[in-house]
Amino acid sequence: MAELTQTDLNKVRNSIELIGNEIDSRVVGSKEIVKFMFISLISNNHILMEGVPGLAKTMLASEFSSHLKAQFKRIQFTPDMLPSDITGNIIFNLESRKLEFREGPAFTNVLLADEINRTPAKVQSALLEAMEEKQVSVGGVTHKLPVPFIVIATQNPIEQEGTFPIAEALMDRFLFRLILTYPSREAEVQILNRSLRGASTQTYMDVDTILKLRDEVYDVFVSQSIKEYMVDIMRKTRESKKVYVGASPRTTAKLLMASKACALVHGRNYVVPEDVYYISKYLLNHRLILRPEAMLDESDVGTEVAFRVIEEILSEVPSP
């Protein structure tokens, strides 16, 4: 496959900016989130959005998929779900008098896992196989999922009854956890002004382009000093007195791929230290387990404490 030229890279950056602007016209304040979605998509990863109800998390995922020539499906998670509600099941065909596999909603390109923390562990485990192995197993037979495949999950942090904590193994499969907050006064006025706009139908990126970008991610140049910078950040998370469990070597590998994808999204074929800094906070905030004393020293909101601890760690690691 031919290497992307600077002209091609500029087209990628411009396309992503156009998509971001178009989605922002429907979901105010979403441009940065769309960038993180593309970083996850072209690095073959998944993304989790967390926020109180009514912040347009579901709408944002739907809008994102509408700008890709890709198949989109949505699962509304509930406590009474079964793994087969995700993977599909084996049915008896009365006409052929044979057992046949009927595909579940996991067989798509973009899967919206809505309120993922409302389903029990046995259902989460079915989603884990789909996210990590890009396949599902039903009746002892493995079925490959379409390519590309990305899970955009949402969860509401304030709902406690009928919710289940996301298993750490599944949480680690999300490249980023984005915390959505209430909009500013100006942004909320814009929401009212734009609420009557029709749905966008413009498409800017197709599956072939996405797959080409995934191949190009591996060729993005990363200098030795930046690689050492990444390792130093990860090691500092393990040495911090406020962190009980730091980032794993797998997280270091994810940081490398995410930084490469971030460079492509910004129209470059090389990584700069700003790429690493830009994504570290959202890549690490759901992977670090803080010590109890860190929570006592700071506010009662765990995500805010995690962000402050990560910023402290980043400030202690010299940038190349």
Domain ranges, ordered by start, for the chain = 6-184, 220-316
The CATH architecture assigned to 6-184 reads 3-Layer(aba) Sandwich (3.40)
- The pLDDT assigned to 268 comes to 92
Nearest alpha carbon to residue 55 among 75, 36, 30: 30
Q: How many other C-beta atoms lie within 10 A of the C-beta of residue 77?
A: 23
pLDDT for position 30: 86
- Is 57 within 8 Å of 180 (Cβ atoms)? yes
With 0-12 / 13-18 / 19 or more C-beta atoms within 10 angstroms meaning exposed / middle / buried, residue 31 is: middle
Bond into 148 cis (ω within 30): yes
> What is the sign, positive or negative, of the torsion defined by CA atoms of 14, 24, 286, 85?
negative
Local structure of 33: helix, strand or coil: helix
Q: Give the β-pairing of 72-76 and 68-69.
A: unpaired
DSSP β-bridge partners for residue 142:
137
Query: How confident is the model at residue 3, as a pLDDT?
Result: 66
Residues of the chain with pLDDT under 50: 1
DSSP 144: E
Q: Which of 20, 40, 8 is nearest to 260 (CA)?
A: 40
- pTM equals 0.89
Pairing of strands 243-245, 88-93: unpaired
In the three-class reduction of DSSP (H, G, I as helix; E, B as strand; rest coil), residue 49 is classed as strand
The pLDDT, as a whole number, for residue 270 is 93
**CATH tag for 220-316 (out of 3.10.50.40, 3.40.50.720, 1.10.8.80, 3.60.21.10):** 1.10.8.80
pLDDT at res. 1: 46
Helix (H, G, I), strand (E, B) or coil at 5: coil
Say what the pLDDT of residue 171 is: 86
Q: Do the beta carbons of residue 68 and residue 62 sit within 8 Å? A: no
Q: Which residue has the tokens 């070597």?
A: 249
One-letter amino acid at 65 equals: S
Q: Under DSSP, is residue 164 helix (H, G, I), strand (E, B) or coil?
A: coil
Q: What number of other Cβ atoms are within 10 A of residue 289's Cβ?
A: 11
CA angle 53, 59, 63 (to 5 degrees): 160
CB 257 within 8 A of CB 227: no
pLDDT for res 137: 87
Q: In angstroms, rounded to a whole number, what is the distance separating the alpha carbons of residues 110 and 12?
A: 20
List, in sequence order, the alpha helices (H) in the chain: 6-24, 31-42, 57-66, 84-87, 121-133, 168-171, 185-194, 207-217, 224-239, 249-265, 273-284, 292-297, 302-316
Asked if residues 49 and 153 have their Cβ atoms less than 8 Å apart, the reply is: yes
Integer Cα distance of 301 and 50 in angstroms: 14
263 and 220 Cβ atoms separated by less than 8 Å: yes
